[in-house]
Amino acid sequence: MIGLLPQALAQRLPLLVLVAYVAGAVITGLSVYNFNKRGSALNEAETSGEVLAEIIRRETAKSLNAPGSYTRAPYTVERRRSLPEALPTATVPLILELDETRYRAAIRFDQPAKLPQALQTGDSTLSAADRLAALSKAIARQDQETRLVLFLPGGDVLFIDAPRLWQDRFSQTLTALLGVAGFAIGLSLFLPLAVNLAAPFQRLAIRRLATRPMPPLASTEALMIGDRIDHLTEQFRNEQERKSRGLAAISHDLRTPVTRMRLRTELLEDPALHERFEADLDEITGIIDGALDLLSIGAQEEESLRFSLVSLLESLVNDYRDVGRNVEFIAPEEVDLRSAGSIFAAAEDVRVRADNQCFMRGQPDKLRRAFSNLIDNALKYGGRAVVEVGPDTESTLKVSVRDFGPGIEPDQLDRVILPFMRGHGATKERGVGLGLSIASEIVALHGGRLEFTNMETGLLVTAQVARDAFGAG
């Protein structure tokens, strides 16, 4: 069935519209046809009372034992001497009155009548023709094939049929329900096809996250776009790799002349000039090392481990404190509990720190370097750093590093993670502007991002990392 669909989206859309139109027209046409057919039968039955009265008068006036049959539209009449068989149990007995003559009658149903209350003979103040018209219409409203049986005074039995009026057909309610059901079924069949037209393009939007093949109903346009995206992605990846390799080669080659310059600096006799040259060479070396690190951070191999981010940051902060740096660590909130007392010891207050809420899977050495860069940046421009860690969502953790320096110009907040950008207002501090870029790359490697917010005093850097960026494997 799928193979019969055209591949081109330009052909599928008109086909879908055409099929939907035809299906809607068929369902609507059938519903309207049944409504009109039933309405016409009821209208004809309602105006046929005089014909029915004339048939009964004529047969009553005939001599006894005069069997025969004839048609008087919309009725067919058959007269017999007796009933050929017993009437079904669903038959509804009646008493008809015409010209002061009362007739025993019955409406023969094979199935119980759907609206038995409608089969009453009507108001006695109405004319005989009106009462018979109401009876004929009531029989037609039952929407099933039936026959009027009339017992004449002389003992003969009169069978009256109305093939156009009293026949099996869908009731008005059933016709409406079938129309709605047909529309719902058609919608359930065509809606997935319509949604599937967009599915390949939705898959293209997320295909970098999944390499699953295109769905079977993918159009040729979607396949062409997918192939083009694959080609451009591969081309972009190759170009980025070439640029990275070129920059890495340049950075590596710069080490040799820097080393020669450092050796020649030792020949300088002026101490002040020697010191300035050493500082410049250290800065160049820092740029080279930072560039190499930034370019290779994703390719550096490290085992993915499950660890406590609280413990990692606490250990990092303690290292700074050991060398006299002003770094403060704020752990997750502690919970005060009271131990249960016993006959051996009284109940005591216990303080528990919920470190287990901050476990994650990742590469701890790289994360340690990223947060070290953030702390170094805070100490360089603010002289003090406050590090705080805690749960963010069910799938992420949040680490914040705050300094108390001059902050960053608002128009530089989005650009501060770019390589060689220094956004702090204090420009006297030496640096190459790669620390935040490296930290941002490492955090992105762990499924997170860096956010920068100017506080009333200083800058707040918030790092969000995924709890399981590398999966359980």
Q: What share of the chain is helix, strand, coil (3-state, %, to 5)?
A: 50, 20, 30
Neighbours of 142 (CB within 10 A): 22
DSSP 14-27: HHHHHHHHHHHHHH
Task: State residue 464's pLDDT score.
Answer: 92
DSSP 77: E
- Return d(Cα 107, Cα 151) in angstroms, integer: 12
Could you report the per-residue pLDDT of 123-178, keeping only the tens digit for each? 677 888 888 899 999 999 888 899 999 998 888 899 999 998 998 887 777 777 87
Residue 449 near residue 438, CB atoms below 8 Å: no
Could you report the per-residue pLDDT of 434-459, keeping only the tens digit for each? 788 888 888 988 889 999 999 888 88
Neighbours of 97 (CB within 10 A): 12
Strand, helix or coil at 440?
helix
DSSP 163-188: TTTS-----HHHHHHHHHHHHHHHHH
Report the alpha-carbon angle 322-327-331, nearest 5: 105
Residue 368 near residue 439, CB atoms below 8 Å: no
- State mean pLDDT over 95-107: 89
Task: State residue 415's pLDDT score.
Answer: 77
Q: Is the pLDDT of residue 462 over 90?
A: yes
Indicate the range of 354-358, 360-364, 372-376 predicted with least confidence.
354-358
- The percentage of the chain sitting over the pLDDT mark of 90, rounded to a whole number, equals 22
**C-alpha R_g of the chain:** 47
- Return d(Cα 78, Cα 56) in angstroms, integer: 12
Residue 421 near residue 411, CB atoms below 8 Å: no
Q: Is the pLDDT of residue 2 over 90?
A: no
Residue 107 near residue 150, CB atoms below 8 Å: no
- State mean pLDDT over 303-325: 91
Task: State residue 393's pLDDT score.
Answer: 87
- Return d(Cα 331, Cα 57) in angstroms, integer: 106
